[in-house]
């Protein structure tokens, strides 16, 4: 495992100041698996104000949860005080967090055994109170302690269990799996944004078909979308960026519920509403591109008519929108002999229609000539 020098330096500084400090969570899991971690999280016995006192530059990112970001050698290193969580309210957030001086208390609040290990990056010492290493070997996603309780505290953990099983290509340990359907009432309270993020990670995995099977089998899919009639292999065949669209199409579900950005929601809604046209001559395809936009058209072709891809790429270089017309506002008005008014828009739509039929007409001279013979 390549540990960034900045992370080692922060670890060293905390130890040098007399505190305990470990790598925790995903990076330890990935290291034991022999994978290069994406990011490195440090946990420490130092309280947030003590962490701040050790370093010159610190951003108090989530100080009420014990997290600060240390700026070290131009890198951002997250340091979180060992903490446990009080009772959960409403299946989403703990009512209180309390800080601890032993790493075991911190590991005990984590979701799965494979995510509940700590490693000293200087010595390689592994703290593994819940058998995470054995579960990694057995390829099992297993809750830390009682699954019914853990899924009852935070409903998102159901989605996370499926996400990790999918991405790692692991099984969900039977008791953990059985606890998901039993806790769907808590799952429904989770903010859709958090559910969506886990779903998108699952859909991005090469093992997405297994993920969808799990989402279906556990009842999660029906909770999220109100439907569960999926063809997991068909979703898996689509490129990762289009799997959500395929899933929504199969489930006949609207994208709105996922609380994506309005641009993404709009794009998905159009993908679901439109189809590749039956008329596939150049003029027909240019009109279609003009109406639905090249991005939506390309995605639809990828899904339903891949043989059209190269042709659409070429046609997309033609003038397709009012903005592409070679005669712009003032010149257009001069050619019409009018000022601003409804005639201008009408003229533009006329010209665009001509240009969609014959792109080579899109020069100022040709467009002026067309206008000469046009009546508003």
The distance from CA 284 to its chain's CA centroid, rounded to whole angstroms, is 35
Helices (H), 293-341: 294-304, 309-315, 329-336
Q: Of these partners, ligand ATP, Mg ion, none, which one is at the site of residue 110 (CB under 5 to 8 Å by kind)?
A: ligand ATP
Number of chain residues interacting with ligand ATP (CB under 6 A): 11
Piece of the chain touching ligand ATP by CB under 6 A; list 154-162, 282-290, 294-302, 326-334: 154-162
Q: Report the C-alpha gap between 96 and 18 in whole angstroms.
A: 27
Q: Of these partners, Mg ion, ligand ATP, none, which one is at the site of residue 119 (CB under 5 to 8 Å by kind)?
A: none
Helix axes 294-304, 262-273, angle to 10 degrees: 50
Q: Of these partners, Mg ion, ligand ATP, none, which one is at the site of residue 111 (CB under 5 to 8 Å by kind)?
A: ligand ATP
Q: Which residue has the tokens 């289009």?
A: 242
Provide the 3-class DSSP secondary structure of residue 357.
helix
Binding test (CB under 6 A) with ligand ATP, winner from 156, 177, 235, 242:
156
Q: How far is the CB of 370 from ligand ATP (least distance, A)?
A: 57
Q: How far is the CB of 22 from ligand ATP (least distance, A)?
A: 12
Q: Report the C-alpha gap between 132 and 114 in whole angstroms.
A: 4
Q: How far is the CB of 354 from ligand ATP (least distance, A)?
A: 53
Piece of the chain touching ligand ATP by CB under 6 A; list 13-21, 89-97, 108-116, 224-232: 108-116
78 binds ligand ATP (CB under 6 A): no
Q: Of these partners, Mg ion, ligand ATP, none, which one is at the site of residue 270 (CB under 5 to 8 Å by kind)?
A: none
Binding test (CB under 6 A) with ligand ATP, winner from 78, 111, 135, 173:
111
Helix axes 174-182, 156-168, angle to 10 degrees: 140
Q: Report the C-alpha gap between 245 and 235 in whole angstroms.
A: 9
308-345: buried (b, 16+ CB within 10 Å) or exposed (e) per residue? beeebeebbebbbeeeebbbeeeebbebbeeeeeeebe
Q: Of these partners, Mg ion, ligand ATP, none, which one is at the site of residue 115 (CB under 5 to 8 Å by kind)?
A: ligand ATP
- Site mask, Mg ion, residues 12-51, x = CB under 5 A? --------------x-------------------------
Are the C-beta atoms of residues 308 and 280 closer than 8 Å to each other?
A: yes
Q: How far is the CB of 147 from ligand ATP (least distance, A)?
A: 12
Residue closer to ligand ATP (CB basis): 63 or 316: 63
Residue closer to ligand ATP (CB basis): 111 or 173: 111
Q: Which residue is nearest to Mg ion (CB)?
A: 26
Residue closer to Mg ion (CB basis): 161 or 268: 161
Q: Which residues contact 139 (CB under 8 A, 6 or more apart)?
A: 168, 169, 170, 171
Dihedral sign for Cα 143, 145, 149, 152, please. Answer: negative
For residue 35, count other CB atoms closer than 10 A to its CB.
Answer: 13
Q: How far is the CB of 133 from ligand ATP (least distance, A)?
A: 14
Task: Considering only residues 25 through 64, tell me which ones interact with ligand ATP, judged by CB under 6 A.
Answer: 25-26, 38
Residues found near Mg ion in the complex (CB under 5 A):
26
């Amino acid at each position: 495992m390549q540990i960034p020098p900045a992370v080692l330096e922060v670890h060293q500084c905390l130890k040098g100041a007399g505190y305990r400090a470990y790598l925790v969570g995903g990076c330890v899991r990935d290291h034991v698996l022999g994978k290069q971690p994406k990011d490195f999280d440090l946990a420490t016995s130092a309280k947030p104000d003590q962490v701040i006192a050790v370093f010159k530059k610190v951003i108090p990112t989530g100080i009420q949860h014990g997290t600060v970001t240390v700026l070290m050698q131009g890198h951002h290193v997250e340091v979180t005080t060992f903490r446990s969580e009080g009772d959960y309210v409403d299946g989403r957030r703990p009512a209180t967090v309390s800080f601890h001086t032993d790493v075991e208390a911190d590991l005990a609040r984590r979701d799965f055994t494979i995510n509940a290990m700590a490693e000293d990056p200087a010595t390689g010492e592994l703290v593994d109170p819940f058998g995470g290493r054995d579960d990694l070997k057995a390829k099992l996603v297993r809750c830390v302690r009682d699954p019914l309780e853990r899924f009852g505290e935070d409903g998102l953990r159901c989605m996370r269990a499926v996400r990790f099983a999918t991405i790692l290509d692991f099984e969900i340990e039977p008791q953990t799996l059985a606890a998901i359907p039993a806790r769907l009432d808590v799952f429904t309270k989770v903010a859709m944004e958090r559910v969506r993020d886990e779903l998108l990670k699952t859909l991005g995995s090469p093992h997405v078909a297994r993920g969808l099977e799990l989402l279906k089998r556990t009842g999660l899919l029906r909770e999220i979308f109100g439907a569960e009639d999926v063809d997991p292999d068909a979703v898996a065949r689509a490129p990762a960026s289009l799997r959500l669209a395929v899933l929504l199409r199969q489930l006949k579900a609207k994208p709105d519920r996922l609380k994506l950005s309005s641009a993404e929601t709009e794009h998905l809604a159009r993908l679901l509403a439109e189809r590749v046209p039956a008329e596939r001559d150049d003029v027909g395809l240019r009109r279609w591109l003009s109406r639905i936009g090249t991005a939506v058209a390309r995605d639809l072709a990828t899904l339903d008519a891949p043989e059209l891809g190269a042709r659409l790429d070429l046609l997309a270089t033609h003038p397709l929108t009012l903005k592409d017309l070679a005669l712009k506002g003032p010149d257009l008005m001069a050619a019409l002999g009018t000022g601003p008014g409804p005639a201008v828009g009408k003229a533009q739509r006329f010209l665009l229609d001509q240009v969609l039929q014959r792109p080579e007409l899109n020069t100022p001279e040709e467009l002026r000539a067309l206008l000469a013979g046009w009546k508003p």
